[in-house]
Amino acid sequence: MRLARAPDLETAFPVIRVIGFSMMDDPDRSEVMRRTGTVAHVRKSDSAEVLLAAIRRRGALPA
């Protein structure tokens, strides 16, 4: 499963924050993503505003 790569990215590039982007609306999958290094989980069906809010919360874009 690709989720296992997030910790590798975090080690190699500590300033990068990974946001999971999925078509699944599954709390278990969200939890797995967080445990493997993602800082947020956004569904593909969510609005652009939800994605931007997740990015801003993580400091990647100015508010």
Q: What is the pLDDT of residues 15-40, one digit of tens each?
A: 778 888 888 777 787 788 777 778 88
Which residue has 């078509």 as its token pair? Answer: 23
Element (H, E) at 29: helix 27-35
- Residue 16 located in a structural domain: yes
Q: What is the mean pLDDT of the chain?
A: 77
Give the range of the structural domain holding residue 33, as residue numbers without chain letter: 2-57
Inter-residue contact 62 to 32 (CB < 8 Å): no
- Residue 63 located in a structural domain: no
- Residue 41 located in a structural domain: yes
- Residue 14 located in a structural domain: yes
- Residue 13 located in a structural domain: yes
**What is the Cα–Cα distance from 62 to 28, expressed in whole angstroms?**
30
- Residue 48 located in a structural domain: yes
How many domains, the chain?
A: 1
- pLDDT value, residue 57: 84
Q: Which residues contact 19 (CB under 8 A, 6 or more apart)?
A: 38, 39, 40, 41, 42, 51, 54, 55, 58
Which pLDDT band, with edges at 50, 70 and 90, does 1 fall under? Answer: very low
- Residue 42 located in a structural domain: yes
Question: In the predicted model, is pLDDT for residue 7 greater than 50?
Answer: yes
Give pTM, 2 decimals.
Answer: 0.64
- pLDDT value, residue 30: 77
